Amino acid sequence: MSKTIFFPVTNTGGAKYKIRAFQRLGWRVIAGDANPNAVGRFTADAFYPLPWRDNPDYFSHIFKIIKNEKVDVYVPAGEKEALWVSRMRDQFLDLGCTPTAADTHTLELTVDKCALFEFLKKETDIPLPRFRAIHTQEDFDQALIDLKGIQLCMKPASTSGSRGFVRIGDETPPDEIFNNRITHLTVSPNFVRRGFARKVMPKMILMEYLDDGDNVNASIIAKNGLLLFSSVHTRENMVAGLSTTGTIVKNDAIVEINKKIANVLHTTGFIMGQFIGNKLIEINPRWSTSIIYRSVNEYLMGIKVWTDEKLEIDPLDVAVHARLTYKRYYQQLVYDDQGAVIAPVS
């Protein structure tokens, strides 16, 4: 009997890959999205339009679908939803559904980058960039003094992906903006001060801007604080903060850091650390980019740590897995005004 998995956001770059991967394994895939024409509508076995996640009835819709479709596994999308789901885990389990959100303790720390860095600095010896938590303009001005002489960047303490990331320095000149594809803007200290004056600045983390060493993601598959599996892949050819190419590499130093992270957070689940060189720059506490190769399937591992199933990983597959490269690319989907697909998605 096949199992059923539910993805509530399926209009992202990796949605089709995950849907097809589980379908090939014999799973029935339920897709949802606030966009009624999300790619999940055309690739999953069933699709449900959903309200936006800030709608107070959001989880009423989710629970109804889980009950009606007899969903076995629910995969929350994004850090904030993962935290909500972790706090409601028993409600999902009462419906016979396993949510893949990491444990609540891990999520409560990792959704706030300032809290996470302050905790890791106090409790571990893992390498971190220099940083300051910024609540006010006074914090910002003092941090500029404390961190004088190093390149700086800043982003909201609670955000997803690269949203809100800026470098601090002289503002990006217009000729660069209008003649080049700028991944991240550089803004002046006065630009930031104007943001505080207008009361539009959220809590921020100001940190050392690192450009020495590979930019990599490193998966953490853990149960009760024990690291069970970790792979490291490069982040290359960035577009809007997302890497379009990456190669799995051997990096024992980062895997050892991940062991310490999993242990100190007492993590259960599948989360992702991001490093430049061997310094941790953030943790994304959700399912993230993963290359599936035979028995090496981090998405399945992220489910099995919650269902108490054994992780069966062939060492020979791991050896080959560590030489793989992924490449994200766009495909074209054509459908009519009734939603019928004219140019099928393979």
In the predicted structure, residue 346 carries a pLDDT above the cut 60:
no
Q: For position 231, what pLDDT does the model report?
A: 96
Do 250 and 232 meet the contact criterion of CB atoms below 8 Å apart? Answer: yes
CA angle centred on 46, ends 289 and 327, rounded to 5°: 25
Write out pLDDT tens, residues 100-126: 999 999 999 999 999 999 999 999 999
Q: Give me the architecture of the 211-327 domain, per CATH.
A: 2-Layer Sandwich (3.30)
Cα atoms in the Cβ-side hemisphere of radius 13 Å centred on 147 = 24
Write out pLDDT tens, residues 312-324: 999 999 999 988 9
Domain boundaries of the chain, sorted by first residue: 4-100, 130-208, 211-327
Backbone angles phi, psi at 82, to 5 degrees: -60, -40
Do 19 and 44 meet the contact criterion of CB atoms below 8 Å apart? Answer: yes
Mutual angle of helices 113-123 and 252-265, in 10-degree steps: 100
In the predicted structure, residue 246 carries a pLDDT above the cut 60:
yes
Burial of 34 (0-12, 13-18, 19+ CB in 10 A): middle
Tally Cβ neighbours within 10 Å of residue 48. Answer: 20
**CA atoms of 17 and 234, how far apart (whole Å):** 19
The CATH number of 4-100 is: 3.40.50.20
Ramachandran quadrant class, 191 (left: phi over 0; alpha: psi -120 to 50; beta: rest): alpha
The topology (CATH level 3) of 130-208 is: Dna Ligase; domain 1 (3.30.1490)
Alpha helices in 71-227 (DSSP H): 79-87, 89-94, 104-110, 113-123, 137-146, 174-179, 189-197
